[in-house]
Amino acid sequence: MYETIEYETRDRIAWIRLNRPDKMNAFTMVMNKEVQEAVERGEANEDVRCIVITGNGRAFCAGQDLNGVDEGLDHGDVLRSAYNPMVKQVVNCEKPVVAAVNGVAAGAGMSLALACDFRLAHENASFIEAFVHVGLVPDSGSMYFLPRLIGHAKALELAMLGDKVSASNAKELGMVNDVYEHDAWEEKVSKFAARLSNLPPKAVSLIKEGMAKSWDSSLEEVLEFEAEAQRKAGRTNDHHEGVKAFIEKRRPVFQGS
């Protein structure tokens, strides 16, 4: 179905693989659209509880493919029509989205990883705000997500200097959740995704929504959101299953209802 990505579902997980390995999975407008559509597809599938985005080959995503870029191109129009809708689809997805960063994540590739809910890094992965090296500014949400993850001063440093950040340094900064060794990479990414896929979907969705709203809300607004969210979560069968499993001293089996 796709020209630049691969999509498959198994064990309640949707796997999206950027698939231009000869170009280090650099973005084209087709890829932007296909990633957006694939995330939307995973969200719409009731059997899917978690979405993982990764790359084929040695890179996660090297950013925009600069080959053949017209000097007269309006970069703002490209962002509004291709990149921004993709980023918003990832952020607004009700299901958790994991970036499994298997190699370099540069430019908009780094932005895509930052937009995800979780970032898992291969030990050889790296992150580069490469925009400044071609006379551009970070985009695709990078100036929104990066300072929220690692703080204003460090985000400004990475954006202006464009230095490469190793996987281990990214973890120290709080940019990634964990770093996995090469030999354990696929197994540990799968286990992390499986853990997410076994959580109660409604509660997960509400947690994601609430955390996002908290940045621009007052305490009173957050307290009210929590109360309403708890009302909704409390009416699910998964809540009743969780309480029952606690009393019976067993692991809950959440059905997503």
CATH T-level fold of 201-247:
Lyase 2-enoyl-coa Hydratase; Chain  A, domain 2 (1.10.12)
Return the residue matching tokens 């001293």. 249
Residue 145, pLDDT above cutoff 70? yes
Q: In terms of Cα–Cα distance, which of 120, 72, 97 is closest to 208?
A: 97
Q: In terms of Cα–Cα distance, which of 81, 100, 85 is closest to 38?
A: 85
Q: Which listed CATH number (3.40.50.150, 3.40.50.970, 3.90.226.10, 3.30.420.10) goes with 5-197? A: 3.90.226.10
State the average pLDDT over residues 124-129: 98
Confidence of residue 68 (pLDDT cuts 50, 70, 90): low
**Predicted local distance difference test score (pLDDT) of residue 66:** 84
Contact 80, 46 (CB under 8 A): no
**Predicted local distance difference test score (pLDDT) of residue 1:** 86
List, as one string, the DSSP characters of 95-138.
S-EEEEE-SEEETHHHHHHHHSSEEEEETT-EEE-GGGGGT---
Residue 77, pLDDT above cutoff 80? yes
The residue extents of the domains of the chain are 5-197, 201-247
pLDDT one-digit tens code per residue, 211-244: 999 999 999 999 999 999 999 999 999 999 999 9
Contact 85, 46 (CB under 8 A): no
Strand partners, 55: 18
Angle of helix 108-115 versus helix 84-92 axis, rounded to 10: 20
